[in-house]
Amino acid sequence: MHKTTVEIDLGQLREAERNLGTHGFKETVNRALVVVNRIAVLEHGVRYLEHGRDSVPEWEWFRARRGHGS
């Protein structure tokens, strides 16, 4: 973990809390990071298929790109 001070748009934070079902800075930011990383893996999978691959990669391929999120 890393502690830092950042300026956060509170309106965007509250909207993110509603969308993610979270409360507070820490929970919302951490959940948002997990969601962003999942989206990136899914988009990478789509590009994989769009470039003529015949099948979805093995689960290990996705896990290797997922990072440390849940």
Mean pLDDT for the stretch of residues 54-58 = 64
pLDDT grade, residue 70 (50/70/90)? very low
Using one digit for the tens of pLDDT, what is the confidence trace for 15-55?
999 999 999 999 999 999 999 999 988 888 788 777 776 66
Q: Please answer whether residues 56 and 45 qualify as being in contact, where contact means their C-beta atoms are separated by less than 8 angstroms.
A: yes
**Amino acid letter, residue 4:** T
The answer for residues whose C-beta is within 8 angstroms of residue 49's C-beta and 6 or more apart is 56
Looking at residue 15, what is its pLDDT? Answer: 98
CA distance 34 to 69: 5
Looking at residue 62, what is its pLDDT? Answer: 66
pLDDT grade, residue 64 (50/70/90)? confident
Q: Please answer whether residues 41 and 62 qualify as being in contact, where contact means their C-beta atoms are separated by less than 8 angstroms.
A: yes
Q: What angle do CA 14, 16, 17 make, to 5 degrees?
A: 65
